Structure 1
Amino acid sequence: MAPTAAFPAPRLASIEAARAFAALAVVFMHATHLMRVPHFTGHVSLGGMFDFGYVGVDFFFVLSGFIITFVHHAELGGGAGRCPGYLWKRFIRVFPIYWLVLAMTVAPSMMTRWLSGRTPVLELGSDDIPGTLLLWIGGEAPEYVGVAWSLQFEVLFYLSFCVLLLHLRAGLALYGLWGALVVAQAFGALPGTLPLQLGNPHCLQFLMGVGTGLLARRMTLPLLKGQSLIVGVAFVAAVLYERLGPQGPHAFGGRVALGLASAAILATLVALERRQPLRVPAPLVQLGAVSYSLYLAHCLLINIVLTLLVKAGLYRVLPEAVTFCIAVAAAVGGGWIIGRTLELPVVAWLRRRTARPGGQVSVAAA
């Protein structure tokens, strides 16, 4: 397959909307679970009705593979010269806002120590630095920002994508081998486990996204009658299988089902957009654009608003559902503000600072 695109990269507002829904699912789940600590409700609120929200992360892993393949498709097989620019774009997209949210999360802890008369030190050992500051998946689990474990996988995925930039056919062969090893490890066919979490089912989800992105850029994806309904039902079925299937939650079979269903949703959205651009509410598209900030900061924001409600004497007065809505509104509103005022401007500024004189790189809206 030639490295040039068979189709131009369209504006995919529906993909941004899907990203927003995935982020909201995670926010809903954490809003109920963060209330279970003793000084709040002491139990998962609303009967755990949003316990399935973690599937939004599974969707994100497929989406990551899809987007970087869809956006960087013209660079595939371009050689080593393509890697520095690609890695810089990924770096400025991931790390600056992550470090900012990390600092925002650490600050209350240090402030509490200072107000209580203790030394406001950073409780971060040298062993924690690779995993927490650099998101290196070979280090310890990230501290402070709980959702950063998924960013460790994202960094791993972004680094691995360089093999496709170096040489397309060889990269695809390595990706195929990677997928086969993930399956082999799941069925106990390997003598041990792959290093750096390379055998985790989330890696297979990423590879599904890469495959979907390649197909979307190289061929006209099929669009059958009632396909949107079919893939929607398939995703719900995948969620139910992941939650209630014989293997139990977070098992290999459920991850594969979620990955396939997520890939089917993305392929269907691309097919629909190619036939006729979908009309998506602007606020939903804008929320999708800042979903990374929302994802990073929502736990911090929810904890802050719940603590304020306790301090104000309102937490145990308000109905649980009202408290949940306030927490979600604070998370979404705060994430929106962080994304619009900090994340997106910083990324845009860094891109302008490193743009080639007289050159303009076209990047898909997705």
Structure 2
Amino acid sequence: MAASAGEAAGMSAQAAPASMAADLRLRHIDALRAIAALLVLWRHVADAFVTLGPGVSGRWISELGADLDFGRIGVVTFFLISGYVIPFSIHPERPAPIGSFLIKRFWRIFPAYWLSVPLGAFATWWLWGRAFGTREFLVNLSLLQDLFGVPGALGLYWTLLVEWMFYLLCVILLLVGSFAKPRHWLLLALVLVLAWFAEMFYHWVTGAAGIGSVVAFQLLNLSLMLLGALARSHWIEAGDDPLVRKGVIALLLWHLLVLPAGTSVVIGVENNATIPYALGVALFVVGISVVRIRLRLTDWLGRVSYSLYLFHPVVFMIMLWGLLRLPADSIWRNQHLGVYLFANALLAAGVATLVHHWVERPGIELGRRLARGWVRWWGRDDVAVAMAARGQGT
């Protein structure tokens, strides 16, 4: 979802090196994507298959995933990766940068998503005899189900809406002239994380809600995406603004140490969301700066990580449904939890590979063609003016 990048999000696109313009993949970022997707899969599969019955062994796998909240760690890592990567695909110096960016992102996200809606509705609703009607189905196709109070075909769709919020935030920063100003990115990241903190503090003191915890956490997630972009430009790649560099380090320390330590003193460690958030940030920091994994296995899993993330619930819910229809003493219902986890990971990776090849890649290529067409259409008036000018000069 570039081996080197000059200035990061909010930096001048003219300074971006050719390697970034070529849209090369960062192999260690693919590794992080793979790990994040597998952490989410771990949490979901372990929570589901531990319910097969008392004969399931290896329950520590479920307890570990729940205690550390592997799913949240994976999602936080995904958000930071989006910040690390997405803004670099916007090139303000080129014609029609906003339109081409949004077209490419649309066709990157939606084809696989559209496929997941009927499969998700089948695996998590219809197969179990649960109602999921035409209205719910159609609203899900728009990805706006959370805004309309409609249940998702799959519960993880909310993260895709956050992704699109970040895309639109990048567009707004470009429109208001702040895309090339990293200090504006830093200030916005600070404002968003402080808004989240203020809501949590207000709720802790009064027991009432201000903007609400759901909205507050979305602001926190957007702040992390901005931080991911700034970490690339002014920490990993040592941008030329020392104030931004210090701000990035301060924000990282806030998430890694100050916030989890402070909240643990006040509310304890149980159900403390700041701890998995800190672990997600730690995983990201280690993956981009200390242990840069570059393996063929993680290259592959990173490439298919979006489909792995989307379709693993389809795989494990169908498998779970089938197993629950076997006798309670069946050997298939009394395996080690690690067996179910490995089997689901293997099957989900296979499904993800097929979806990536037959759905994601054609969608990406279509998006690129449409974006090129949009740029040509956008520049047609400039071409006409230039041709007229040449005609007048002869």
**TM-score normalised per structure 2:** 0.68
Deviations 1:260-315 (A, max 9, x none): 4355335517xx9xxxxx77222311210110100011011012233444557542
2:108 is matched with which residue: 93, 99, 109?
Answer: 93
Q: Tell me the distance in 2 between the aligned counterparts of 1:67 and 1:35.
A: 34
Q: Residues 248, 298 of structure 1: CA spacing in aligned structure 2 closer, same or farther, 3 A cutoff?
A: same
- Residue 278 of structure 2 aligns with an amino acid whose one-letter code is A
Residue in structure 2 matched with residue 64 of structure 1 by the alignment: 82
Mapping 1:166-205, distance limit 5 Å? 166-169=175-178, 172=185, 174-188=188-202, 193-194=210-211, 197-200=214-217, 201-205=220-224
Q: Which runs of 5+ in 2 are unaligned?
A: 1-9, 243-254, 377-394
Point out the more displaced range, 242-251 or 55-64.
242-251
Q: Tell me the distance in 2 between the aligned counterparts of 1:141 and 1:106.
A: 13
Partner SS, residue 13 of structure 2? coil
Cα RMSD (Å): 4.3
Q: Tell me the distance in 2 between the aligned counterparts of 1:197 and 1:111.
A: 28
Task: Indicate the percent of aligned positions where both proteins have the same amino acid.
Answer: 23
Q: Which runs of 5+ in 1 are unaligned?
A: 223-234, 273-277, 360-366
- Residue 351 of structure 2 aligns with an amino acid whose one-letter code is G
Q: Tell me the distance in 2 between the aligned counterparts of 1:326 and 1:242.
A: 40
Structure with bigger helix share is: 2
Mapping 1:78-227, distance limit 5 Å? 81-107=96-122, 123-124=132-133, 126=135, 130=139, 133-135=142-144, 137-140=146-149, 142-169=151-178, 172=185, 174-188=188-202, 193-194=210-211, 197-200=214-217, 201-215=220-234, 216=236, 219=239
Displacement of 1:56 in angstroms is 0.7
Partner SS, residue 333 of structure 2? coil
Residue in structure 2 matched with residue 230 of structure 1 by the alignment: none
Q: Residues 41, 295 of structure 1: CA spacing in aligned structure 2 closer, same or farther, 3 A cutoff?
A: farther
- Residue 221 of structure 2 aligns with an amino acid whose one-letter code is H
CA contact (8 A) 2:77 2:281 kept: no
Displacement of 1:327 in angstroms is 2.3
Mapping 1:320-339, distance limit 5 Å? 320-339=337-356
Deviations 1:63-106 (A, max 9, x none): 1122112332x338x89x43222222221122221110111122
CA contact (8 A) 1:135 1:155 kept: no
Point out the more displaced range, 125-134 or 204-213.
125-134
Q: Residues 43, 163 of structure 1: CA spacing in aligned structure 2 closer, same or farther, 3 A cutoff?
A: farther
Q: Tell me the distance in 1 between the aligned counterparts of 2:287 and 2:92.
A: 21
**TM-score normalised per structure 1:** 0.72
Residue in structure 2 matched with residue 257 of structure 1 by the alignment: 278
Q: How many residues align?
A: 332
Q: Residues 138, 96 of structure 1: CA spacing in aligned structure 2 closer, same or farther, 3 A cutoff?
A: same
Displacement of 1:241 in angstroms is 7.0
Q: Tell me the distance in 2 between the aligned counterparts of 1:290 and 1:66.
A: 18
Q: Residues 214, 339 of structure 1: CA spacing in aligned structure 2 closer, same or farther, 3 A cutoff?
A: same
Residue in structure 2 matched with residue 292 of structure 1 by the alignment: 306
Displacement of 1:14 in angstroms is 0.8
Larger Rg: 2
CA contact (8 A) 1:6 1:219 kept: no
- Residue 219 of structure 1 aligns with an amino acid whose one-letter code is G
Q: Residues 49, 186 of structure 1: CA spacing in aligned structure 2 closer, same or farther, 3 A cutoff?
A: closer
